[in-house]
Amino acid sequence: VSERPDNRHAIRHILGIWAGLTAIGVVIAVLSPGWLMPTAASSTMHLLILTVVVFSVAAAPVAALVYATALYALVRWRWRGEGVPPDGPPMRNNSVVTSVWLVASSLLTVFLLVWGLAALSTDDAGGGGVNPMTVDVTGQQWVWSFSYPGTKVSSFELYLPVGRKINFDVTSKDVVHGFWIVQMGIKINANPGVITTASVTPDKIGVYDIRCSELCGLNHAFMETTVHVLSDSAFNSWLKSQPSRV
């Protein structure tokens, strides 16, 4: 089959559509996390939102190339003749397309890997390492409960001081649950008989959501509570006001 006479013309058109769709994709990638994602109440969550933005920006030209090619092919290369359409030239002999795609996808993959590993390594390190506080978290069908070691205080809503690193020791009394503080960007499984750990430094005073992120039975969807992030002094007076339970 001979080459199509309008190939160069078609490539220019596709590249034009690609540039336009890439621009739209980048705008959506930069703006939409602000509309769609919860407010950030920790540096972990800030990094998580930034990662979503950066990965979406990196994905925009790839998605745009697919859509540009598909749109152009649907509109301009539609088969209007009789019977089965003729096949085009094989792609595997096109060294330009193959090498550009190999290099571009390798660079993209390496970038995502390096970014992901770097983000993961800052996760545990996190600031506020001074005077960290441990909270025991217990999941059971279908409530969360929290106890504050060294105090004999426990609660069904979580109370935390702002700006201090919190280490969560998480476990379950029955089945597997998922301890998820939505606006702080941490999520860890709560397993029976095992303690899993997660750390975060709340950096914004306010009330945020805790949910179960692991399907755990009939009332899984209602297994939620709130976390109150207080100033240091407000947290201490809350702690003193609580009855001691053993």
With binding defined as CB under 5 A, does residue 170 bind Cu ion?
Answer: no
d(CA 21, CA 102): 22
Task: Choose the binding region for Cu ion from 76-84, 102-110, 161-169, 209-217 (rule: CB under 5 A).
Answer: 209-217
Among 40, 53, 216, 229, binds Cu ion (CB under 5 A): 216
With binding defined as CB under 5 A, does residue 212 bind Cu ion?
Answer: yes
Cα 235 to Cα 44, 130, 199, 229: the distances in Å are 22, 17, 18, 8
The SS3 call for residue 192 is strand
Provide, rounded to whole angstroms, the least separation between the CB of residue 127 and Cu ion.
30
Among 177, 179, 181, 188, binds Cu ion (CB under 5 A): 177
Task: Choose the binding region for Cu ion from 3-11, 12-20, 153-161, 213-221 (rule: CB under 5 A).
Answer: 213-221
Whose tokens are 């003749």? That residue is 81
With binding defined as CB under 5 A, does residue 211 bind Cu ion?
Answer: no
Describe the chain by its helix, strand, coil percentages, rounded to 5: 45, 25, 30
Which residues between 65 and 84 bind Cu ion (CB under 5 A)? none
Provide, rounded to whole angstroms, the least separation between the CB of residue 218 and Cu ion.
10
Q: What is the full DSSP assignment across 36-105?
A: HSPPP-BHHHHHHHHHHHHHHHHHHHHHHHHHHHHHHHHHHS---SSSSPPP---GGG-HHHHHHHHHHH
d(CA 236, CA 238): 5
With binding defined as CB under 5 A, does residue 223 bind Cu ion?
Answer: yes
With binding defined as CB under 5 A, does residue 190 bind Cu ion?
Answer: no
User: Smaller CB distance to Cu ion: residue 190 or 230?
Assistant: 190
Task: Choose the binding region for Cu ion from 1-9, 16-24, 56-64, 218-226 (rule: CB under 5 A).
Answer: 218-226
Token pair for 173: 């009394």
> Number of residues in contact with Cu ion, rule: CB under 5 A?
4
Provide, rounded to whole angstroms, the least separation between the CB of residue 175 and Cu ion.
7
d(CA 37, CA 47): 13
User: Smaller CB distance to Cu ion: residue 25 or 220?
Assistant: 220
- The binding site for Cu ion (CB under 5 A) comprises 177, 212, 216, 223
